[in-house]
Amino acid sequence: MNKIHVKTNINGDQVEFLADSRETLLDCLRDHVGLTGSKEGCGTGDCGACSCIFDGELVSSCLVLGVEAEGKSIETIEGMAGQEDLHPLQKKFIEMAALQCGFCTPGILVAAKALLEKNNNPTETEVRYWLAGNLCRCTGYDKIIKAVMETAKDIRETA
């Protein structure tokens, strides 16, 4: 099987990789680019652990083919923190212990960031619905929801 040469932009860097046409974007990120922050939970779009931003939209990277990334721009969990500082959501998750095993956390952070960028004053219901595609088997969600609400509050106050 001939591999396909894919040129794309990940977290602001130009990246090239060779992909089999059947490989998902998640496989390519992890196995070809070495970005293993995005996790595979279910591999069928149910759990959200592989969430990333694909051309400005929140997607499950297990439901995108690697070859579809040609010429696109992708943001993953690795691009979330600044050079010096963690993203406010990351800091708040640590502060409020909004994670236990941490496997779902990259996906939840990417999804929560996407929400706060379009709505920095979400209701609890809105946060819960938005994160319905991100499963967490440890926390029971309450701390996650609270951390997202608190971050939104901080963002509003500093804006």
Question: Is residue 78 classed as helix, strand or coil in its secondary structure?
Answer: helix
* Position 126 contacts other proteins (CB under 8 A): no
* Class of residue 158 by CB neighbours under 10 A (exposed 0-12, middle 13-18, buried 19+): exposed
Distance CA 46, CA 62 (A): 10
Distance CA 18, CA 150 (A): 41
Distance CA 132, CA 47 (A): 9
Work out how close the CB of 45 gets to other proteins at its nearest, in angstroms, rounded to a whole number: 6
Q: Which is nearer to other proteins, 67 or 147 (CB)?
A: 67
Residues from 83 through 112 that contact other proteins (CB under 8 A): 111
Stretch of residues binding other proteins (CB under 8 A), selected from 19-27, 84-92, 95-103, 150-158 = 19-27
- Residues at the site binding other proteins, with contacts judged by CB under 8 A: 4, 21-22, 24, 43-46, 48, 51, 54, 57-60, 62-65, 67-68, 111, 114-115, 129-130, 132-134
